[in-house]
Amino acid sequence: MSDAQANEAEKNIEIWKVKKLIKRLEAARGNGTSMISLIIPPKDQVSRAAKMLAEEYGTASNIKSRVNRQSVLSAITSTQQRLKLYNKVPPNGLVVYCGEILTSEGKERKVNIDFEPFKPINTSLYLCDNKFHTEALAELLESDQKFGFIIMDGNGALFGTLSGNTRDVVHKFSVDLPKKHGRGGQSALRFARLREEKRHNYVRKVAELAVQNFITADKVNVAGIILAGSADFKNDLNQSDLFDNRLATKVIKVVDVSYGGENGFNQAIELSAETLSNVKFIQEKKLIGKYFEEISQDTGRICYGVEDTLKALELGAVEVLIVFENLEINRWVLKDSNGVQTILHTTKQSEASNREQFMDKETGQEMEVVSSESFLEWIAEKYRDFGTTLEFVSDRSSEGNQFVKGFGGIGGLLRYKVNFEQLAEVDDDDDYYDGNARPSPLRSVMTASINSSSTPAISFLGPISSYTHQAALGRFDKEKYEYQPAIGIPDVFEAVQSGKAELGVVPFENSTNGAVIFTLELLADRHSLYKDVIICGEAYLDVSHCLLGYVSTADSPVMSGTCTPTTSTPSPVKPKTTPLSSLNHIQRIYTHPQAYGQCEAFLGTYLKGVERLDVSSTSKAAEIVKADKTGTSAAIASSLAADIHKLDILAKGIEDRDDNTTRFLILRKGVDTSATKVDVAAKSMVTFTIDHRTPGALADVLDCFRRYQVNLTSINSRPTKIVPFQYIFFVEFEGNDFCIKPGMRLSNCFYSRSYGLRTINRSLTLPAHTRKSSTQSILHKELTSRKPNIIYDYLSPTPSHLLNISLADFLPPTCYPANFKVQDLTLPYTTTLGHECSDAALLPQSHHLVYFSPQIPHSALLPDGTDPLQSPGPPFVRRMWAGGSLIFNTTSGEQLRLGNMRAACIERIVDVSVKGREGDEKVFVNIERRVGLADTGDELRMNPDAKSSAIVSEKCSVSDRNYMADQQLLQRHHVDNNDNIGQASLVETRNIVFMREKDTTTAKEDCARLPKILRPTRKPDFDVRITPTQSLLFRFSALTFNAHAIHLDPQYCRESEGYRNLLLHGPLSLVLMFSVLRSQLQPGEMIKRFNYRNLAPLYANEELRVCVGKNADKSNKYEVWIEGKEGGYAVKGSAVVGPLDTGDS
C-alpha cells in the first residue's frame, strides 16, 4: 500500500471516529441549558475564547434557578479548564463539548471532550443549550470530492450525489413525454412541434432543479457532475443554454446507461469508476471485490468472522482488515475466581440468549467484568499493533451488503495462507490453556499455549518461504510440528519465552556477511525479557539468492552486448553470474540487510545506485514486490519465494560465494532435564561483560579457556548501552562440560550468562546462569568509582566583581554584597596575599559558583556543550540541574577571601540512582564538591625547591610533585560523610539528572504543552521581580565556562529539549536566591545551610519573582523560593542562618 493510500485509510478512520462521536453527542440530552458546544477555528486565539467564557460566567451567575445556574456554571468552568490545556489553537482548530447529560437510567453524567479535528474546521461557535450542536462536525464529513449525478430518460430524472462511501438520491421526478409517433389524428407537424416543446420543457425543468440541488449560496457544492441517460436527453442538457454555466463547467463525464432511476444511478457510478477513482464508495467496491476474488480462486488468503480474524491478526497475517462501520459487537475482558482473564466477543442477541458464556465454571457465578467496550472502538485504536491496515466499509453497495450479511461484517486479506482448523484444535484443547497467562493487548485472543506433546509449535522468522522457514523444514519432521511464522526475530524469542512455541528458529550467522546483529541484540537480553530462553541446537542452510521482480519488455543490454557493466567492486571481486533479463527498469530493491551484504558484487555491478529498502525478511521483500504493479521493484529472495508469489527470476545465484551458508540457532525455554551427558562433539555459548577500564581484563577472561584447553570457535560483541565503550561478549566454544571443570570460572566479569549449543540432532546439558546486574548497579559502580576531579583556582576578585556587575541592573541595591557599589565599578584593589585579607574581602556566599570551572578542552565537550565528567553516557545524553544543598564553615579562618589565594574544589560522585519506567529512565547523579584553601598543594606547587618536604627533591618530576600535592590535599579533606565539613570552607552537593534523547517531534509537542503549576502556600515577606535577559544568560555562561546549549541556543531548546526558550542556569537561580536572602540578614549573620530543589524551568525574557519568607517558629530559618511567570514554584529552598564565628572570646 502506498503512502497516499495509507494516509487515506488513516483519514477514513478519523472520519469514522467523528461519525461515532456525532452519533453519541446527538443522542445526549440534558436538564436545562447546561451543555456547551465550543468551536474555535484555526488562527483564532484561545485568549479570546477564554475572555468570552469569563463574561459568560458572570452572566450565568444571574440565572434565577439555582439548579440550572449551578449546572451552567459547572459546564463553563469545565470548558475553561479544557482551554487551559492549550496555549494556542491547533492547526485544524479546536472543538470542545462540556456539560451534564441524562443517562438512560435518569442519572446525570458529566461529559468533557476536547480534540483537534482531522481537517481544518472553519466555523466559530459557542452555544449553551439542552443539547450538543454537531452541525459543524457533520460538515467535516463531507468529502472534498463530492460528485453530482443527473440521470435522465424518457420516464423522468434523478439527482444524486456520491461522497466518500455515501450514495444519496437528493431528488427525482417523473414525466410523460410523447413517443416518436403521434396518435389521435394529429398532423405530423403538430405532433412534432408538441413533442419538441415537451422535451424542451423537460430539459428546462432538469436545468432548474440542477441549480437548486447543486448550487448553494451561489457556489457549486460538488467537485464534478456526471450526466447519464439512455437517450439523448443528457446531451441536450449538456448543450443547452438553459443549463447554468457554473454547472456546465463542472461536467466531467457523460455516460450512456441502460436504465433510468436508481438502477441507472448505480450503472452510472460503475461506468464512471475510473473518473471517480478517489471516491471511497468506488474504493470500497473494489476492495470487497478483491476479497470475493480471493474466495472464488480458493487461495486461502482470506479470513472472516471475529474469532478467525483475530487469530490471523495475532499471527501478523492480515494485510488489510475489513470491518463493517456499524458492526455491533462488544468486547469483554472477564476475570474468574482464580484471577484468570478471558476475552469474549458478543452481540446484543448472544448476550441476552447465552448468559453461560459469562459464568465462572468453578463457582457458577458470573465472572467479574474488568472492561467492556465496543469492538469497533477497540480495533480502531489497536489495529496498528497487528501490523495491518484498517478499512471501514458500508452496506450500501451490493458487495458491501453481501459482505455484512454473508461474512459477519469482519474479515481480512491475508499475507499468506493460515490453517484455521489447526488453530481451532489448539483453542479447543484444555491441555494447551495456560491459566496463569494474562492476555497482553497484542496477544489477547491467543490464549492457547503451544506446549502440547501432540503437536508442538515451532516459531520461525517468517513469512512462509523465508530462508528460516526452509531451515526449520529441513531440521525438523514437518509432520510432527506446527509451523508459526513470526513477523520479526523478537517475536520468535517472545513466543519461546511465553511458551506459545516449544522451539524457535532464528538466523545467527552467515559465512559471507558475518553475525546477524538482530539476534545478537536479543541474546544480549539487557532487560531480562528472555531470561529462560536457551540454545538447544543449530541448523545450516546453503543459501542461493535470486533477484525477483517482473521481466521488462526490453532486451537485456548485458545479454545483447550493447553495453558492458562497470563493476563498482574492486578486482578480483566480481559477480559470478549475469542477469537473465534487462534490469534497466529496476528503481528500488527490497531486501534483508544480511541478504544484501551477501550479494554486493552482483548488486554493485548491475544495480549500482538503485535505492535500497530494508525489510524484515527476504520473503517479505518478495511480498512487497508482488504488490508493486509498476514492475519497477525487485527483491533479493529465494527461488521458492518466486514460485509462491508468482514473480519472475531476473537473476539466479547472485550471492558472492558458492559456499554461502547461513547458520540458524534452535531456541527452547529452560534446560532440557531429560538430556544426558554424552561423549560426542558439542558446542556451547557464554556471554559476559567485563570492566573495560581494567587493563588486560578481556585477556584474563579468554585465558581461562586456554588454561583449561577449551577451543574457542567464535567471539562477537555488542555495546552494553549502559556505559560507553563497554561491551557484552558472546563466546562459542567446543565442549559441553565447561562449567564443571574444577576451578574454572570467568574472572573480572560484571555478569555472565551461559547458553548451550549442540550440533544437529543432539541434545545438550546446560549450565545454570546468573542474571545480569541492573542498570542502576552497573552505573552506580562505574560512576562512583571514577577518581575525584580536583580543580584549582586563584581567588582573584575579578570573576566575583564581574558577576556583581552582571546582576547590578536586575537586583535592587539592598541585594548587593557589602563590598560592591554600583556608583564605582572599578575592580577592588588587593594589597595582601593570603589569610591577612580583611573581612571586607570575603567572597560573597554563592559566588564560588563562578570559580572552579571544569578545565577541559573544546574537543572533549559533549554534543550539547556540556562536560563529560559526571555523564553516564549514551543513551542518557540530556541533563538538567535537579537541586542540591550547601553547608558553609562558620569559622572565620576557613572563609574564602578575594586575596588571590589559591583554593581547590574536590569534586566526586557519591551516589547514582535510576528512576522511571523502562524506556523512560532518568539517571540521578549526586555530586559532592568540597571547596577549601589549598595551602599544602599551594606550597608545593609554588615553591618546588622548598627543602621542608622530602618529596620535593631533584629526583621528582613536576608531574610527580603535582600528584603528591593532590594526594595530600585529598587526605587533608577526607571525611566519612558530607555532613562533616572538616577543613573545607564549604561543601556543596549537586543533583544532576540525565535523560534520554528526544526526537524533534516529541520536543515540539513538549514545547507546546502547558506546564503544570504548583502554587506556593504562603505569601513572601520580601520579594524581588526580575526579568532575566538573553545577555545575562550569556554573561553567566561565560563566567562559569559553561557551553550548555540550553542557555545559548533557542532553536536547540525548542527542537531538541522541548523548551520554549533559553533556560536560566541552575547556579544562576541559586545566586539570585542567595542575593535576595542576603538583603534580609542582620549584620554579622551568614547562611549556614541551604537546601533547594528545581521544580520547573525558568526562561529568558520571562518575569520571575524571588521570594523570602521567615519561619514563624524559628528565627534562624527562612523559606526561599522562585516563582515563574505563571505564579507557580520554579525553585523551592530553605535556609538556616547564624553568626560568623570570629574566634573572639
CATH code where residue 702 lies: 3.30.70.260
Of 707, 683, 868, 851, residue with least CA distance to 762? 683
- Residues 207 and 113 placed together within one structural domain of the fold: no
Percent of the chain scoring above 90 in pLDDT:
28
The whole-angstrom separation of Cα 70 and Cα 513 is 73
Strands 156-163 vs 166-174: parallel, antiparallel or unpaired: antiparallel
Q: 1086 — alpha (psi -120 to 50), left (phi > 0) or beta?
A: beta
* DSSP conformational letter for 231: S
| Residue 107 maps to a domain | yes
Tell me the CATH number at 551.
Answer: 3.40.190.10
What are the tens digits of pLDDT across the range 147-166? Answer: 899 999 888 999 999 876 67
- Residues 132 and 159 placed together within one structural domain of the fold: no
**pLDDT, position 618:** 85
Q: How many CB atoms lie within 10 A of CB 574?
A: 14
Of 1104, 999, 1093, residue with least CA distance to 1055? 999
- Residues 205 and 221 placed together within one structural domain of the fold: yes
Of 173, 178, 201, residue with least CA distance to 188? 178
Strands 876-888 vs 1085-1094: parallel, antiparallel or unpaired: antiparallel
Amino acid occupying residue 886: L
The whole-angstrom separation of Cα 1078 and Cα 1085 is 9
- Residues 862 and 970 placed together within one structural domain of the fold: yes
Q: At what angle do helices 1030-1039 and 1066-1078 cross, to 10 degrees?
A: 100
Mean pLDDT of all residues in 328-355: 81
Tell me the CATH number at 166.
Answer: 3.30.420.60
Domain membership of residue 830 as a residue range: 789-1139
- Give the domain-ending residue among 214, 247, 278: 278
For the chain, the 3-state helix, strand and coil shares in percent, each to the nearest 5, are: 30, 25, 40
- Residues 75 and 109 placed together within one structural domain of the fold: yes
| Residue 756 maps to a domain | yes
What are the tens digits of pLDDT across the range 66-100? Answer: 888 888 898 999 999 889 888 889 988 999 999 98
pTM of the model: 0.40
The whole-angstrom separation of Cα 604 and Cα 172 is 66
| Residue 35 maps to a domain | yes
- Residues 620 and 745 placed together within one structural domain of the fold: no
- Residues 133 and 256 placed together within one structural domain of the fold: no
| Residue 453 maps to a domain | no
- Give the domain-ending residue among 230, 246, 278: 278
Of 1102, 1107, 1109, residue with least CA distance to 1129? 1107
What are the tens digits of pLDDT across the range 36-50? Answer: 999 999 888 999 999
> Which of these ranges, 191-205, 616-630, 758-772, 933-947, has the smallest mean pLDDT?
758-772
Which residues neighbour 470 within 8 Å (Cβ) at sequence distance 6 or greater?
541, 638, 640
Mean pLDDT of all residues in 589-611: 89
| Residue with the larger pLDDT of the pair 1136 and 511 | 1136
| Residue 426 maps to a domain | no
Which residues neighbour 747 within 8 Å (Cβ) at sequence distance 6 or greater?
700, 701, 704
| Residue with the larger pLDDT of the pair 494 and 137 | 494
Asked if the model's pLDDT at residue 520 lies above 60, the reply is yes
| Residue 446 maps to a domain | no
Query: Which span out of 129-138, 662-671, 1096-1105 was modeled with the highest average pLDDT?
Result: 1096-1105
- Residues 707 and 732 placed together within one structural domain of the fold: yes
Q: How many domains does the chain have?
A: 5
| Residue 905 maps to a domain | yes
What are the tens digits of pLDDT across the range 1071-1111? Answer: 999 999 999 998 889 999 999 999 999 999 999 999 999 98
- Residues 803 and 697 placed together within one structural domain of the fold: no
Peptide linkage before 572 cis (omega within 30 of 0): yes
Tell me the CATH number at 1040.
Answer: 3.10.129.10
Cβ–Cβ under 8 Å, residues 411 and 307: no
| Residue 458 maps to a domain | no
| Residue with the larger pLDDT of the pair 651 and 769 | 651
Asked if the model's pLDDT at residue 798 lies above 90, the reply is yes
- Residues 893 and 1027 placed together within one structural domain of the fold: yes
> Which of these ranges, 101-110, 627-636, 843-852, 898-907, has the smallest mean pLDDT?
101-110
Which residues neighbour 219 within 8 Å (Cβ) at sequence distance 6 or greater?
none
- Residues 126 and 224 placed together within one structural domain of the fold: no
What are the tens digits of pLDDT across the range 272-294? Answer: 877 776 556 767 888 888 888 88
The whole-angstrom separation of Cα 353 and Cα 375 is 19
Asked if the model's pLDDT at residue 636 lies above 90, the reply is yes
- Residues 704 and 645 placed together within one structural domain of the fold: no
Q: How confident is the model at residue 950 (pLDDT cuts 50, 70, 90)?
A: very low
Average pLDDT, the chain: 80
- Give the domain-ending residue among 239, 254, 278: 278
Asked if the model's pLDDT at residue 680 lies above 60, the reply is no
**pLDDT, position 290:** 86
Q: How confident is the model at residue 527 (pLDDT cuts 50, 70, 90)?
A: confident
Asked if the model's pLDDT at residue 742 lies above 80, the reply is no
Asked if the model's pLDDT at residue 611 lies above 80, the reply is yes
The whole-angstrom separation of Cα 1 and Cα 319 is 9
Which is it for the CA torsion 18, 22, 28, 33, positive or negative? positive
Tell me the CATH number at 53.
Answer: 3.30.960.10
Q: What is the 3-state secondary structure (H, E, C) of 878-933?
A: EEEEEEEEEEECCEHHHCCECCCCEEEEEEEEEEEEEECCCCCCEEEEEEEEEEEE
What are the tens digits of pLDDT across the range 373-409? Answer: 888 888 888 887 787 888 888 887 777 877 887 778 8
